[in-house]
Amino acid sequence: MPITTARAPKKTSKTKRSAVSCGGLSTKIHTLVDAPGNPIGFHLTGGEAYDLIDPDHLLPEMQADTLIADKAFDADKRVIEPLAAAGKTAVILPKSNRKRPRTFDRDLYKVRHLIENFFAKLKQCRAIATRYDKTAGNFLAAVYLAASAIWLN
Protein backbone atom coordinates (compact mmCIF):
# COMPACT_ATOMS: atom_id res chain seq x y z
CA MET A 1 0.00 0.00 0.00
CA PRO A 2 1.57 3.33 -1.03
CA ILE A 3 2.22 5.99 1.60
CA THR A 4 0.89 9.43 0.85
CA THR A 5 3.19 12.37 1.20
CA ALA A 6 0.53 15.04 1.12
CA ARG A 7 0.92 17.83 3.62
CA ALA A 8 -1.52 18.24 6.46
CA PRO A 9 -3.99 21.10 6.02
CA LYS A 10 -2.91 24.40 7.57
CA LYS A 11 -4.37 25.21 10.92
CA THR A 12 -6.91 27.99 10.86
CA SER A 13 -7.34 30.54 13.60
CA LYS A 14 -10.27 28.52 14.95
CA THR A 15 -8.12 25.47 15.59
CA LYS A 16 -5.21 27.28 17.19
CA ARG A 17 -4.69 27.74 20.90
CA SER A 18 -7.53 29.37 22.77
CA ALA A 19 -5.67 32.49 23.88
CA VAL A 20 -1.95 32.75 24.08
CA SER A 21 -0.87 36.02 25.62
CA CYS A 22 2.29 37.30 27.25
CA GLY A 23 1.40 35.44 30.44
CA GLY A 24 0.53 32.15 28.74
CA LEU A 25 -2.91 30.63 28.33
CA SER A 26 -5.41 33.09 29.76
CA THR A 27 -8.78 32.70 28.10
CA LYS A 28 -11.58 34.85 29.53
CA ILE A 29 -14.99 33.29 30.03
CA HIS A 30 -17.94 35.66 29.65
CA THR A 31 -21.25 34.30 30.88
CA LEU A 32 -24.83 35.18 31.72
CA VAL A 33 -26.55 33.64 34.73
CA ASP A 34 -30.22 33.65 35.67
CA ALA A 35 -31.70 34.76 39.00
CA PRO A 36 -30.73 31.59 40.95
CA GLY A 37 -27.18 31.79 39.54
CA ASN A 38 -27.45 29.06 36.90
CA PRO A 39 -25.48 29.66 33.68
CA ILE A 40 -27.37 30.61 30.54
CA GLY A 41 -24.70 31.31 27.91
CA PHE A 42 -20.94 31.51 27.41
CA HIS A 43 -18.51 33.36 25.18
CA LEU A 44 -14.71 33.12 25.13
CA THR A 45 -12.23 35.90 24.42
CA GLY A 46 -8.48 36.11 24.67
CA GLY A 47 -7.00 36.98 28.02
CA GLU A 48 -5.28 40.04 26.65
CA ALA A 49 -8.55 41.41 25.23
CA TYR A 50 -10.54 44.09 27.01
CA ASP A 51 -13.73 42.80 28.69
CA LEU A 52 -15.99 44.95 26.54
CA ILE A 53 -14.38 43.95 23.26
CA ASP A 54 -17.38 41.91 22.15
CA PRO A 55 -20.52 42.19 24.33
CA ASP A 56 -22.76 41.56 21.32
CA HIS A 57 -22.56 37.79 21.71
CA LEU A 58 -24.47 37.48 24.98
CA LEU A 59 -26.47 40.69 25.42
CA PRO A 60 -28.88 40.33 22.46
CA GLU A 61 -30.04 36.91 23.69
CA MET A 62 -30.59 38.16 27.25
CA GLN A 63 -34.23 37.66 28.20
CA ALA A 64 -34.13 39.17 31.69
CA ASP A 65 -35.32 42.71 32.35
CA THR A 66 -32.22 43.64 34.36
CA LEU A 67 -28.51 43.21 33.67
CA ILE A 68 -26.20 43.30 36.68
CA ALA A 69 -22.57 43.59 35.58
CA ASP A 70 -19.23 44.82 36.87
CA LYS A 71 -17.67 48.15 35.98
CA ALA A 72 -15.90 46.78 32.90
CA PHE A 73 -19.30 46.93 31.17
CA ASP A 74 -19.89 50.60 32.00
CA ALA A 75 -20.16 51.82 28.41
CA ASP A 76 -23.00 54.04 27.26
CA LYS A 77 -23.03 53.24 23.54
CA ARG A 78 -22.10 49.55 23.72
CA VAL A 79 -24.18 48.35 26.70
CA ILE A 80 -26.35 50.86 28.55
CA GLU A 81 -28.08 52.59 25.62
CA PRO A 82 -28.94 49.37 23.70
CA LEU A 83 -30.38 47.85 26.87
CA ALA A 84 -32.40 50.99 27.58
CA ALA A 85 -33.71 50.95 23.99
CA ALA A 86 -34.84 47.35 24.55
CA GLY A 87 -36.64 48.40 27.76
CA LYS A 88 -34.14 46.74 30.07
CA THR A 89 -32.34 48.08 33.11
CA ALA A 90 -28.57 48.06 33.53
CA VAL A 91 -27.22 47.92 37.07
CA ILE A 92 -23.53 48.53 36.54
CA LEU A 93 -21.03 50.07 38.94
CA PRO A 94 -19.81 53.28 37.26
CA LYS A 95 -16.11 53.60 36.52
CA SER A 96 -14.17 55.99 38.71
CA ASN A 97 -12.92 57.95 35.69
CA ARG A 98 -16.40 58.49 34.21
CA LYS A 99 -16.89 62.06 32.98
CA ARG A 100 -20.66 62.09 33.53
CA PRO A 101 -21.54 60.40 36.82
CA ARG A 102 -24.32 57.85 36.62
CA THR A 103 -26.47 56.44 39.41
CA PHE A 104 -27.14 52.76 39.99
CA ASP A 105 -29.12 50.65 42.46
CA ARG A 106 -26.60 49.67 45.17
CA ASP A 107 -28.93 47.13 46.79
CA LEU A 108 -29.60 45.35 43.51
CA TYR A 109 -25.88 45.43 42.63
CA LYS A 110 -25.18 43.30 45.72
CA VAL A 111 -26.88 40.38 43.93
CA ARG A 112 -23.87 40.26 41.57
CA HIS A 113 -22.28 37.80 43.98
CA LEU A 114 -24.28 35.08 42.17
CA ILE A 115 -21.99 35.31 39.14
CA GLU A 116 -18.94 35.26 41.39
CA ASN A 117 -20.34 32.19 43.16
CA PHE A 118 -20.84 30.49 39.79
CA PHE A 119 -17.23 31.15 38.78
CA ALA A 120 -16.03 29.85 42.14
CA LYS A 121 -17.94 26.61 41.50
CA LEU A 122 -16.66 26.48 37.91
CA LYS A 123 -13.05 26.79 39.06
CA GLN A 124 -13.50 23.72 41.26
CA CYS A 125 -13.17 21.81 37.99
CA ARG A 126 -9.40 21.51 37.64
CA ALA A 127 -9.39 21.47 33.83
CA ILE A 128 -11.22 24.81 33.76
CA ALA A 129 -9.13 26.49 36.44
CA THR A 130 -5.82 25.50 34.83
CA ARG A 131 -7.03 25.70 31.21
CA TYR A 132 -5.60 22.39 30.04
CA ASP A 133 -7.33 22.45 26.66
CA LYS A 134 -5.31 24.08 23.94
CA THR A 135 -8.10 24.94 21.52
CA ALA A 136 -10.96 27.31 22.15
CA GLY A 137 -13.55 24.75 21.03
CA ASN A 138 -12.34 22.08 23.44
CA PHE A 139 -12.07 24.57 26.30
CA LEU A 140 -15.60 25.86 25.66
CA ALA A 141 -16.89 22.29 25.58
CA ALA A 142 -15.25 21.65 28.96
CA VAL A 143 -16.86 24.83 30.32
CA TYR A 144 -20.29 23.68 29.11
CA LEU A 145 -19.76 20.24 30.65
CA ALA A 146 -18.69 21.67 34.01
CA ALA A 147 -21.53 24.21 33.94
CA SER A 148 -24.11 21.51 33.25
CA ALA A 149 -22.81 19.55 36.24
CA ILE A 150 -23.12 22.70 38.38
CA TRP A 151 -26.65 23.26 37.10
CA LEU A 152 -27.68 19.70 37.97
CA ASN A 153 -26.46 19.97 41.56
- For 61-101, the pLDDT digits (tens) are 788 888 888 888 887 888 888 888 889 888 888 888 888 88
pLDDT of 145 reads 92
CA angle 67, 43, 37 (to 5 degrees): 45
Global pTM value: 0.71
Tell whether 87 is covered by a domain: yes
% of the chain beyond a pLDDT of 70 = 77
How many domains is the chain built from? 1
In a domain, 69, yes or no: yes
Per-residue pLDDT for 33 more than 50? Answer: yes
Is residue 74 in some structural domain? yes
pLDDT digits (tens, 9 = 90+) for 88-147: 888 888 888 888 888 888 899 888 888 889 989 998 988 888 887 778 888 889 999 999
> What's the whole-number average pLDDT of the chain?
78
Encoded amino acid at 45, one letter: T
Asked if residue 2 has pLDDT above 60, the reply is no
Q: Return the pLDDT at 7.
A: 61
Tens of pLDDT, residue by residue over 6-27, are 565 565 555 455 445 433 457 7
> 101 is in which domain, residue-wise?
25-152
Mean pLDDT of 36-51: 77
The answer to whether 70 and 92 are in contact (CB under 8 A) is yes
Rg of the chain taking only CA atoms, in angstroms: 19
Give pLDDT, residue 22. 36
Classify each residue of 16-30 as buried b or exposed e, where b means 16 or more C-beta atoms within 10 Å of its C-beta. ebbbeeeeebebbbb
Is residue 92 classed as helix, strand or coil in its secondary structure? strand
